[in-house]
Amino acid sequence: MAGQRVDLVLSDMAPNISGIGAVDQPRAMHLAELARDFALAWSKPDAAFLVKLFMGPGFDDYVRSLRQHYQKVTVRKPKASRGRSPEVYALATGLKK
């Protein structure tokens, strides 16, 4: 399997929420960064990446980093998500390699 690449990486990871934003947001961003790094390392050119994110500190920089590596990045809030929840998903398509 060495050298095998994937067409799509999906990450729905989230940390156990403590209710302390200064702790929860960095943990969530760390998981998103791990998922992005995995996607960049193991994806084929033109692959896609879907990741759960939480809006807050680090969110804008993260989305900017996706835009550097993918042709198109779309951020959407799922209808099933509560209105007050900062949860969103970013879909990045067209990995630039």
pLDDT tens per residue across span 50-67: 999 999 999 999 999 999
Indicate the DSSP class of residue 16: P
In a domain, 48, yes or no: yes
Owning domain of residue 40: 6-95
- Average pLDDT of the chain is 93
Query: From CA 12, how far away is CA 3, in angstroms rounded?
Result: 25
Distance set, CA 14 to CA 10, 34, 84, 97 (Å):
13, 12, 17, 28
Supply 66's token pair: 């996706």
In a domain, 25, yes or no: yes
Can you give the CATH number for the domain in which 36 is found?
3.40.50.150
Catalytic residues: 52
2, pLDDT greater than 70: no
Supply 63's token pair: 């989305």
pLDDT tier, 21 (very low <50, low <70, confident <90, very high otherwise): confident
pLDDT tier, 83 (very low <50, low <70, confident <90, very high otherwise): confident
Supply 44's token pair: 């084929």
pLDDT tier, 17 (very low <50, low <70, confident <90, very high otherwise): confident
Task: Looking at the chain, list the stretches that DSSP marks H as alpha helix, in order from N- to C-terminal side.
Answer: 21-42, 59-69
1, pLDDT greater than 60: no
Q: How many domains are there within the chain?
A: 1
Average of per-residue pLDDT across 86-91:
94
In a domain, 1, yes or no: no
